[in-house]
Chain A
Amino acid sequence: MLVSNNEVIVGVGLRHPHFADILTQPKQVDFVEVHSENFFGQGGAALSMLTQAREKYPISLHSTSMGLGSFQDIPQHYLESLKRLTEQIDPFLMSEHACFTWGKEQGRLIHSGDLLPIAHTQRNLRVMCEQVERVQSFLGRQLIIENVSAYIQFAESHLDEAEFLAELCQRTGAKVLLDINNIAVNSMNFEGGDIQQSVSHYIEKLPVESVAQIHLAGCSTPSSGDLVIDDHACPVSDDVWHGYKQALTRFGAVPTLIEWDNNLPAWSVLIDEANKAREVVHAVLAKEI
């Protein structure tokens, strides 16, 4: 189920330290998003918490290990775990990243343990289309694919990431999860750091109807000369808020998520960030009208 882009829907990423908050406090956001792999166990307290949270909030399942851009097939055991969770939770959104994670080592399949970037080539586009189609068919769900932050670049890339994602969605029926902070990180690391311009270039290559979700996050300031690391450890930066306004102007009020993974603040701080996002949406929509 995708939400029409006239509704203002804002959620937060739910992490372990906030499990008690989500169950005991009144509903303050429209949805919560969890990392799928954290709930691959067949039982236990975490899954029980998510099942209870499901009664109060729509859930978005955000996967981090599928590696849709991998040349190696995604293992069946992984897909089966994801399918079991999907059937149990019935998420309203399901997302993954435009990256690779699987490789071979001495004949054995291994997992990279990280979101590794891919070269944006026609060959890799074909591979990712096949993987996305296979996963969507297996799960019976539409996937939303997120742009990633990267710390290396491939000389052979001849497509922009946005062009790559637009083509991927056009061929597979998947949608885009637009992570504004990832565009900002890549802008600072490889494009001279004019974030407003980077966002502008990125979003104009995505069809208006292609974006189904937006992620907002903040990251630590690096030492001089170092690359920016997308650590999700800070409040959303002013640059990212500005990029968010640019995206809203183009795509309308798509569901938006505040992501925060490290140096996790109190639940109330996340709620404040979500409320700020809501205010930004209302302000942009009012201006558009």
Chain B
Amino acid sequence: MIELFENKSGGDDQQILLEAIWNDESPEINKAGFNKQGLDIYRRNLLANAQRALSISFPTVFELLGSSISKNITYQFLRLSPPSQGDWSQWGKGFSHFISTIEEGYRYPYLADCAAVDWHVHCALHGIDQSLDQSSLQTLVNSEPEHIEIVFNQNVKLLKTHYPLTEIFQAHHHDDELHREVAMIKAQKLLAKESIEQMVMIYRPEFKPEVSTLTASEGAFMLCLMAGNSLEQALNTVKSDRSFSFEQWLLTAIERNLINYFKEK
């Protein structure tokens, strides 16, 4: 068993209690003489709090796996990545990667990407409130595309995946039951295919985060802009796609609250 906790000159009693709660095979437990029933309560509380936190931050993963499996996963993740923020809702940044390393992640290869979507949705839910600075629209009138940069709302995230993440997300979280059923059927069909590629976008129009799929061109265009390139450079990435319209994209982007402001480069 790895020694998780270190002793220091002050606060030995606190370190010993922490170790006794986190490591039930610790040799310190008997020496400290803590009541086993009491320790078990703290152990169960820790696991229950952690499981509750993950179930809130990763609702899709928890629905896909079911609670009995999730308890074991919670325990493993807790040991690997203990909380350090003092706020359970900020715990779980590495959960998607962790999922990709465990048996359930191998068995359901889309699970890790579902966790990544869940995490971005969770972060967007508590993210800073941003909306378009209308006055910055003037930059589009006054400047050439080569000198224009678009700064996105901080709650906008893009994720490239080989799985139908949007459909899986909608199948579990869309408000409308019929929409959920249709999304589930679509997700199952797409999962049966050998290979797909999706660019998924997480964004927050008002308070409720949304998940949608971008076309390849929309994805390439936005990724280029998000890397800090000019509007002209971004437009060059989609010039071969005649169906892409910047004007149409801009209207949708404003409607979806994707843009924080425009600025001159």
* Residue positions of A touching B, CB distance < 8 A: 37-38, 40-48, 65-67, 70-72, 74-75, 77-78, 81, 100-114, 116, 118-119, 123, 127, 150-156, 226-227, 229
Q: Cβ of A109: which chain B residues have Cβ within 8 Å of it?
A: 84
Q: Cβ of B17: which chain A residues have Cβ within 8 Å of it?
A: 116, 152
Contact between B34 and A105, CB atoms less than 8 A apart? no
Among B11, B38, B45, B49, residue most surrounded by chain A Cβ atoms (within 10 Å): B11
Among A81, A103, A118, residue most surrounded by chain B Cβ atoms (within 10 Å): A103
Kindly supply a per-residue 1/0 record for chain B positions 82-121, scoring 1 wherever the CB is within 8 Å of any chain A CB and 0 otherwise. 1111111110000000000000000000000000000000
The contact of A71 among B10, B84, B127, B207, by CB within 8 Å, is B10
Alpha-carbon distance between A113 and B54 when the two chains are bound, in angstroms: 13
Contact between A40 and B89, CB atoms less than 8 A apart? yes
Chain B residue at minimal CB-CB distance from A41: B126
In the complex, whether B190 has a CB less than 8 A from a CB of chain A is no
In the complex, whether B128 has a CB less than 8 A from a CB of chain A is yes
In the complex, whether B140 has a CB less than 8 A from a CB of chain A is no
In the complex, whether B13 has a CB less than 8 A from a CB of chain A is yes
Q: A42-B128, A43-B127, A152-B34 are in contact. Are A104 and B10 (CB under 8 A)?
A: no
Q: Cβ of B85: which chain A residues have Cβ within 8 Å of it?
A: 77-78, 111
Q: Cβ of B128: which chain A residues have Cβ within 8 Å of it?
A: 42-43
In the complex, whether B42 has a CB less than 8 A from a CB of chain A is yes
17 contacts across the A-B interface (CB closer than 8 A): A37-B86, A38-B89, A44-B207, A45-B125, A45-B208, A48-B129, A78-B87, A106-B4, A111-B83, A111-B85, A112-B18, A112-B21, A113-B88, A116-B18, A127-B10, A152-B42, A227-B38
Interface residues in B211-259 (C-beta closer than 8 Å to A): none
Contact between B5 and A103, CB atoms less than 8 A apart? yes
Q: Cβ of B83: which chain A residues have Cβ within 8 Å of it?
A: 110-111, 113
In the complex, whether B35 has a CB less than 8 A from a CB of chain A is yes
Q: A111-B86, A113-B46, A152-B35 are in contact. Are A44 and B129 (CB under 8 A)?
A: yes
Contact between A81 and B46, CB atoms less than 8 A apart? no
Chain A residue at minimal CB-CB distance from B18: A103
Q: Cβ of A71: which chain B residues have Cβ within 8 Å of it?
A: 8, 10-11, 14
